[in-house]
Amino acid sequence: MGNKFWSILFGVTMVACLVSFAISPWMGWWRPAGISTHAGDVDFLFDVILAITTFFFVLTEAILVGFMWVYGSTPEGKPPVSEKTDVAGFLKPLTNLLNTQHKVELAWTLVPAAILLYIAFAQVETWANIKYETRKQKQQDWSKDGAPLQVGVSARQFEWRMRYPSVERFKKWMEKDALSDPKSATRKDFDSFGKIPQADDIPVVNELHIWQHHQVVCHLSTRDVIHSFNLPNFRVKQDALPGKLIPVWFKTIKPEVMKTYNTKWVAEPGSKPEDKRGRYIDGVNPETGKEADPDFTYDIACAELCGWGHYRMIGRVYVHKDRDDFVAWLEKAQQDHRGPKAESK
Amino acid sequence: MTPSTRIAILGLACFSFTLAGCGQDRHPSYSTNLRYGIRQDPIVIEPKELGDDRYEPDRPGVLPLMNISDIQKPDHPYHKKKDRLEVALRDPRLLSDKDRESLEKGLEEMFGTPAHPKVDIKAGEGFDPKDLDVLKVDATTLAEGSKLYRVHCLHCHGVPGDGRGPTARWVNPHPRDFRVGLFKFQSIDRTTKDGNAELPASRADLLRTLRQGIEGTAMPSFNLLQDKELQDIISYVIHLGIRGKVEHWILKTNFKPKDGTLEYDQPNEPLSNLLAEYARTLAGYWIAAEASENRIIVEPYPYDNNNLEQIQASVKRGQQIFLAQISPEFTKEHALNVVTRPIVAKRMAEALAKKRESTQDPKAQLTALEKAEAQKLTPAELADAEKVAYTKESLEKAEGKLKGASCVSCHTNYGREGKYRVDTWGTLTRPNNFVMGTFRGGKRPVDIYYRIHSGINGYPMNGFGGTFKGNEEYLWDLVNFVSTLSYPPMRERLAIRID
């Protein structure tokens, strides 16, 4: 074993890393399917950065292992003194170019700088699309698709407390042109949803309900420490900071593109199939029929170590088929919140 | 051994740690050797001796009643009371070995061990073990519940449900001690003659707490667990509740301190008989908590939320009741109500008789719309009623009967300046600050109704269901008022000032 030990150890580690990386898509270790409109851009950046870092990882590790293999076996670890200082033929042009210390240092400064600059400029567009208020509004044509769905998301140790508008207010906002006048009471009510909770809001714990291909704006806040609102499938990750209200938006891709479709049609009891009466239940496994199946809902995770219960700060995203199906759920949630008896007038 | 071999072994050891937990049962059970054991922490005999004059919550890492020797330390919240501890507390560690053994054996016979929990109470005194079916405490359910409890609940609530798990001392309010046999947030009607004071929560109440968590405390929501898993956990909690309370009860009533030890005071009665008797009574309480007649009957919400005037009036009345400064207009309204209520009730009964087809609950049958319709009085009728109601005598009578709840006496300045008080579990908590908008028992209007109607078990919050019996709309007024307080724009819209 002797002095070859270290080169073998490092070589094996590198190969093990590369192999586990190469097989990861088949082992289910790869990133989950991206189903939001900006998932493609985020994934592209991820891939670019991954490619660059992989190249340099392999390069530097190979050199490290190589040098350890060659020089590790010499007595007392000293480099062998050779009369010939020849280098391999293909490296000749490089030695002519980098023939002084000064030039070598310039090279290892400028090359990474160029790469970093490229990454910095490549991500600007994606970042702006995700974070800028002005771009957010471009993503959805309010007059055509309706206003975005607003949800208040308040993190606390160790759960996510969501806040939805009451069915009445929600329906008012969704009416055609209801929000076109920026001075109308409805518009003011809509705009103040994130900042000012109302008594008729519907609180829900750990469940984020949205519907397909519609913009969702989460007004993110925290009641105690820093948490991070992470929706891996939607490529959303935003820290929740004490004292701050941070809007986060995303929109699922079109239903036809979305492969993992997670709602099930349940016909009304006693109705014929051609009546098409009934509703969609979300998070249903089409094979087993199990409702709220973790495989057919999407995760909400906390991505910032927030305390002992960080690991269990998990929520679920349910994607409904359309707005009507969402409203059916919202009505149910409202009834549950107000209590069956308290509902009567 | 060369240094490199050593490092290689170290590396392998580190790598093997990453495999820990692989391939095991997801919810492994307790070791079969583990026993619940007899409690170590003192029982509070005279809560008054411990006093109400603590003024700050426990520091992190301090549980107020861990054991007697802890209290001897000067930084303990009860240190000042150390002379009175002997009167206030009973230390189960003073049990003689013989008593401890027989107590442990008796409890284990009835309740099993953490790995094999059971509720095996023998029949007697009007108790049939079959009655336990409503509590779902069969051995299979309990075994499942025990596994889940070990994963999700144990680290706070402790193995015997004592609220003293490893994390308990770091969270405040401290986790619930199930051995007291009481739960704060439930829907048991406590306005009955005997007050239902001993009844714990029903399964439905516990399920709601598990699903929603308790806002403002460290109790999180468990709504991502399957329904069956939650039901199993509830069964196990009931098991712990009965077991812990039996132990608590016998130590409190049948063991008296004598010469530095605890002595069993019924030498002629075998311990196991007494244990069985207590277990029967306690199981009876849990069963009674399931009975629908012991639940709060929620009177239908009498207002139309879209009618601003109605809500404004309701919230205003709510504030008057809250402050117990009832205005002459309110008295007038109340006097009129007294006269018109029988007319309305009669009319409602007539409307109902027309509609009655099944034997359903009559109140549920009468839909909201019909009720509103039935309540309408013609102007002539109203004038007649006013004539009767506004005489001097009826107004005086109304004023005498009309009571405010005077919530403000504890919820000082709408709760913003409420004083800390000690609850049954020894935790210092404050009356709710309504301006903050956190409701531990739940935010639903009906949850707030439950709290106002029957109070909070184990805390000096009284119920007002008895005070307002027959005038339940005043309870709803209070609900409306209290839930408005944390929403400044809504206070403005409803013309409520709280400064």
SS3 track for B52-93: CCCCCCCCCCCCCCCCHHHHCCCCCCCHHHCCCHHHHEECHH
pLDDT band at A295 (very low <50, low <70, confident <90, very high): low
Contact of A316 with chain B, judged by CB distance below 8 Å, is answered with yes
Contact of A159 with chain B, judged by CB distance below 8 Å, is answered with yes
In this complex, the residue of B306, B445, B489 whose CB is nearest that of residue A339 is B445
Name the token pair of B232.
């199993």
Whether residue B110 contacts residue B275, with contact meaning beta carbons closer than 8 Å, is answered with yes
Q: List helix spans (H) across B132-192.
A: 139-152, 154-157
pLDDT of A85: 60
Contact B305 A316 (CB under 8 A): no
Q: Which residues from chain A sit within 8 angstroms of residue B299, using beta carbons?
A: 341
Contact of A335 with chain B, judged by CB distance below 8 Å, is answered with no
Q: Which residues pair with A163 in a beta bridge?
A: A152, A203
Mean pLDDT of A150-159: 92
pLDDT of B322 higher than 50? yes
Residue B300 C-alpha, separation from nearest chain A C-alpha, in angstroms: 5
Give the Cα separation of A222 and A245 in Å (integer). 8
Mean pLDDT of B266-293: 89
- Residue A331 CA: distances (Å) to CA of A11, A74, A170: 60, 78, 11
pLDDT in tens, A15-72: 999 999 889 888 878 888 788 888 889 999 999 999 999 999 999 999 889 888 877 7
Give exposure, B54-81, as e/b (b: 16+ Cβ within 10 Å).
beebbeeebbbbbbbebbeeeebbbeeb
pLDDT in tens, A8-23: 999 999 999 999 988 9
pLDDT of A344: 38
Amino acid letter, residue B297: I
Contact B444 A337 (CB under 8 A): yes
Residue A168 C-alpha, separation from nearest chain B C-alpha, in angstroms: 10
pLDDT of B50 higher than 80? no
Q: Best residue in A224, A335, A345 to probe B by mutation, most B CBs within 10 Å?
A: A345
The domain limits of chain A are: 3-76+86-129, 146-338
Contact B301 A314 (CB under 8 A): no
Class of domain A146-338: mainly beta
Q: Which residues from chain A sit within 8 angstroms of residue B372, using beta carbons?
A: 345
Contact A314 B224 (CB under 8 A): yes
Q: Which of A192-196, A229-233, B149-153, B306-310 has the lowest mean pLDDT?
A: B306-310
pLDDT of B140: 93
Q: Which residues from chain A sit within 8 angstroms of residue B437, using beta carbons?
A: 197
pLDDT of B395: 83
pLDDT of B315: 92
Q: Which of A206-215, A225-234, A270-279, B27-36 has the lowest mean pLDDT?
A: A270-279
Q: Work out the percent of chain A whose per-residue pLDDT is above 90.
A: 32
pLDDT of B21: 52
pLDDT of B146 higher than 50? yes
Closest CA to B132 of B282, B240, B272: B282
Mean pLDDT of B5-30: 67
pLDDT of A259: 46
Neighbours of A108 (CB within 10 A): 10
Contact of B403 with chain A, judged by CB distance below 8 Å, is answered with no
pTM, full prediction: 0.82
pLDDT in tens, A167-205: 999 999 988 788 888 888 888 889 889 988 888 889 999
What's the whole-number average pLDDT of chain A? 81
Closest CA to B480 of B333, B312, B306: B312
pLDDT of B55 higher than 90? no
Contact of A338 with chain B, judged by CB distance below 8 Å, is answered with yes
Per the model's pLDDT, the better-predicted residue between B245 and B79 turns out to be B245
Contact of B166 with chain A, judged by CB distance below 8 Å, is answered with no
Contact of A172 with chain B, judged by CB distance below 8 Å, is answered with no
